[in-house]
Amino acid sequence: MILRSLILCAALSLAACSTQERIDTTAFEPQADANTFRYRAYADASVRLDVPWAEEYRMDMLKEWLELNHKCPDGFTITSRKPVKKSEGIFADIYDIYYEGRCKPSQAT
């Protein structure tokens, strides 16, 4: 019983950390056109600019934003990705990455 409680607490803590990290390190802007959005994420020494797993991590954060905003239930397409260098870091430069995207059309007929 105690072990289950500890596991549950650990899982909830990780979920809270993920939510806080998404809020602290990314931004999401729904657009006037309900099918489009803007998203900002970051890249640094720990989450590199052009490493596949890091981009997957940024897309996971975007998926959380989309779910919270009830957008793109059938998926999305990134239409623009623009890294902007903010500063030079000791181990890697630091970037804001600006994305624009469009929701995929519904598959329901």
Task: Provide the b/e sequence for 52-78 (b: ≥16 CB within 10 Å).
Answer: eebbeebeebbebbbeeeebbeeebee
CA atoms of 62 and 56, how far apart (whole Å): 10
Is this structure's pTM higher than 0.85?
Answer: no
Which whole number is the average pLDDT over 32-60? 93
Report how far residue 43's alpha carbon sits from residue 51's, in angstroms, rounded to the nearest whole number. 10
pLDDT higher than threshold 70 for residue 20: no
- Domain residue limits, the chain: 29-109
| Confidence label for 31 from pLDDT (cuts 50, 70 and 90) | confident
